[in-house]
Amino acid sequence: MRKWARIPHPAHGTLRPRKLHQILFTVEARAKAINPDKAPSQRRITGYPLQIWYLLLSLLALVLICHFTARLLARKSVSAGTRGPLRLSRLPFAAVHVFRTIAFRTTASFAGYTLSLTEFFLGCGYITVIFTWTLINTTDVEGNRFSPRYFADRSGLIVATQFPLLIALGMKNNIVSWISYDKLSILHRVVARVICVSIWVHAYGRVIDLSAQVTGDLGDAWFRWAVAAATGLTLLCSLSVKPLRKRSYEAFLVAHFFVGLILLIGAYMHAKRDTVTHYVWPHLSSGVGLCNGAAFCWRIRSFLYAAFVFRSHPRIKDQNQPGVQQNRVRVGHPRPRTNSSHYRRPLQLGRH
């Protein structure tokens, strides 16, 4: 093995140009190896996605506390046709009812979409939180703003940690909405489109930061899985535009299922390379929702078979239509008891 020669004293002679060039090259390589941006960028990459979830869980906990507190403190309603005495203690409850009326029943329509004030402000707040935590504190030690070293990987991990929320918002009877007959479909689409944009922000940052390595990574499986997942989600978000979705909902539903599966698998295979699969396991475990969807389809099949094959069971003519809230109607039908009637799950997949 070749050893480095000691630097001679100026009195003993001068360095030859070849030796001086080698020493300077070694010093420069070691200086590059010690990157002052590495420690703070890694700390923010791992910390900021968790901070977003702390904020979301705090908001969800506040909503749950208010929900159960209101149910516990609710008193017996005054019977119809009678009026009770005015009480100042009822003013907080009246204020809550006024707030609910304004927040959930006041709607705004634009471009064919109808949003309540709650959906509008929650969507804007979510967009602000995601992109603020993605792009904040991205100035490197040299003063370059929005350095890819800081926001590229951070954006990818934020995407990986948001999939459980995406799946929860697309289901009925979930712990987010506590509404049995409705899903938070608008927020589900908002989260999906924010994730789609964040994926391409992650890809852009990686290409800019490691442009010399991208050509060599094209043949790797983890890179191809990432491209497939990002392309599929982009196509799905494009097809989810209301005019296209209403024109061919069945095709959208099939594409939604398969692209979602490709997205989950692609995210895991992509994160496996950097040993950050612990960020991906939560939304892979959310694949229980897919199994629940299969159980839901089986229940529908059993219901139709029992209702239309066996003549003794009640038919659709026995349905009832109680009013639920503005612009919504709940349609109920007595389900015949079959051998599959034990499939009662707390989570159900529904239409978007």
Comparing 289 with 264, the larger pLDDT belongs to 264
What pLDDT is attached to residue 215? 59
Question: Worst-scoring range by mean pLDDT, 93-102, 168-177, 255-264?
Answer: 168-177
Bridge partners (DSSP) of residue 151 are none
The answer, yes or no, to whether residue 295 has pLDDT greater than 70, is: no
How far does CA 227 lie from the centroid of its chain? 19
Based on its alpha-carbon atoms, the radius of gyration of the chain, rounded to whole angstroms, reads 29
How many percent of the chain have pLDDT more than 90?
Answer: 11
β-partners of residue 332 are 320
pTM: 0.69
pLDDT, tens only, 224-271:
888 898 998 998 888 888 888 888 887 888 888 888 888 888 888 887
Mean pLDDT for 191-215 is 82
Mean of per-residue pLDDT scores for the chain: 72
Is the predicted pLDDT of residue 48 greater than 70, yes or no?
Answer: yes
Q: Which residue has the tokens 């792009």?
A: 135
- Residue that the structure tokens 């093995």 belong to: 1
**Mean pLDDT in residue range 4-24:** 50
* DSSP sequence for 184-220: -HHHHHHHHHHHHHHHHHHHHHHHHHTHHHHHHHTTS
15 pLDDT above the threshold of 50 = no
Cα maximum dimension of the chain: 112
Burial class (CB in 10 A: 0-12, 13-18, 19+), 279: buried
